[in-house]
Structure 1
Amino acid sequence: MGWVFLGKFGIIWVPIVLILVSGHSDGCLEGERRGLLEFKDFLKSKGADADRLLPTWVDEKPDHHSDCCDWDRVTCDRATGHMTELSLDNIIHVPFADSRIWLINASLFLPFKELRSLNLSFNSFSGWTHNEVFERLSNLRKLEILDLGSNRFDDNNIFHSLGALTSIKTLIIGHNPLGGYFPAHELVALTNLETLDIGFNLYHGCLPMQGFEKLSALGKLETLNLEFNKFDDSILPSLSALGSLKMLNLRANNIGGLFPPHELAYLRNLERLDLSENQLNGIQGCESLLRLEKLETLYLQYNKFNNSIILCLSSLISLKNLSLRGNNLGDPFPARGMSIFMRAPKENILSILILFISSQELFQCRINGDEKLGDVGFKL
């Protein structure tokens, strides 16, 4: 019972009921706790020292309450008790040189229906115990981040299963021995995908009409990492269809010929482009760079450019970071040629950093709106 005071208008007697709204106070859900313990048993069945690797994952005892939301590698929503993140990276601790094959039972994750992030990286997983099981993970309708990087997956059929995870925003499957033709068409159902990382694999191309142009249906895709594969120029036409891209990493592939590849000029939203450690050796159609109005970072180190590349790059009016290290720009560094960037609006040239190695000297030039362009050299 309480009162409501209305100032000079008097007092009204009103019963006031206090409702206490509290969050979930009983810890994690029993079904999810049991699911975690089943995963621990799975590790034991594979010979892993699970008690040492997961010391906090213990069963209930009469005199001990074990809340799995407090366990290592587990994050929960305290309001609901549901698990939202599971970090099982480097969980097996098997040396990479170990020849054992680890197949993971994907059904172990089915109890975690509110899971948003699952990290299985840096293990030795090479596949699933049943080919059809992973498709059942489509029941994890809130899963947004899946990291399968640094494992031993070597069968592209994995992408057929991954295509069922339509809620995924970030998919990482880099640092695996996956090779051949990249099956981009298997991912067209991932309409929420924002980041795709398949770097450090062995891909060398795409099948006709089944390449990266298939991913044009993924209107939210902003980051595509293809570094350290064996892609050549043949994939460039399919990449031109990915108009939503903001970051494209093609470092250390087999892309040769002239710069800029005219196909990339269609990526008008591109902010960061890495073409370093390829076989680019000349320039063509530099005016197409005018389309890349948002490009701020460009890495071209360790190609085969001469100093004519500098004039070509002057079309990039938004450029802030540029690396040309390890090319054939000449010695001494052609700092005067960099003055062409001073034509750009001052707010767009706050920081352009060029690194160049020649004759065992490192020349670093920095352009600032308030400073003159000059050379700074020092011995390595």
Structure 2
Amino acid sequence: MSMLSLFIFFLLAFAMTYFMRAYALKKNIIDNPNERSSHSVPTPRGGGVAIVCSYLLALTVLIYSQQLSAHIGLTLMAAGFVIALLGFLDDHGHINSMLRLAIHFLVAISVVISLGGFSEVTAFNGLALGFSANIIAVLFLVWLLNLYNFMDGINGIASVEAITTVVSMAILYYVLNTTLNSDIHWLLAACVFGFLLWNFPKAKIFMGDACSGFLGLTLGILALIALKENLALFCAWIICLGVFVVDATYTLIKRVLSGYKMYDAHRSHSYQILSRKWGSHTPVTLAVAAINLLWLLPLAYYTVTQPLAYPEFMVLVAYLPLILIAMKLKAGHPDA
């Protein structure tokens, strides 16, 4: 993948975000602050459509130039398009949460089938998971899709998480000289960066559900493609996604155990609590980038380069400090 290609798709996403902002202002597609919000100023939303459109075009180019398997490319495109369209419609008018979740499951099931299933996967040095691996894969996609929406709450955080994750994995693919395609990672990073300049450090437009769900699903599919290669690579993906996975999962569990509904609006994620404590979104987003590159990437590198009997153990090592941070900040606590 040439630098020129990356620059072209960066510019495309950047320009499309400008037009999406103009469209959102014209159609009054505005995110007004509420009890879940971490912002205080009404801001246009839906800018992430630029990421979706530019990345789908990038995948089309890769398929046409035979740099990407048509099967993998079309799986990413079809699943991503459906989720992005669902989010776009939700941005324009509320869609029933149960209907939305049902579509999420249908898309996740279709992806697992398209990838050939995961019944052959073993964990913990030989434990055969059988058909249950397919169920886990579906749940993994649905949860990652939704948690990405939950975590898209302050300027730049969802974009920075996506960029640092795919760049980290592209680096690992290069180090391992794997046959897996890393062009799709670099292109996604370029497209997201084109949007990020409109969203960070000061947000001129928000990403919106159309893109947050798209990114969560896309990252999940890329992780499952890596699982087809080997378990250690999949564990590396889980490690690199650690900030989002831990914060969203810990907060949800804490709130459900406290009697709250899963989709109740709130501002009790660790990143939201920190943004209030520090009085700004910027240091929190930069802290996420630092954790991803200075803590999670080295651990992911160790996981894929060392012949570990239990690569799953490294996920626990990576997550433990993140869990302790969430506990210290009282994430999910009603008074947080």
Q: Which has the higher contact order (CA 8 A, sep 6+)?
A: 2
TM-score (norm 1): 0.24
Give TM-score scaled by structure 2 length: 0.26
When you count strand as a share of all residues, which structure comes out higher? 1
Whichever structure has more helix as a proportion of its residues is 2
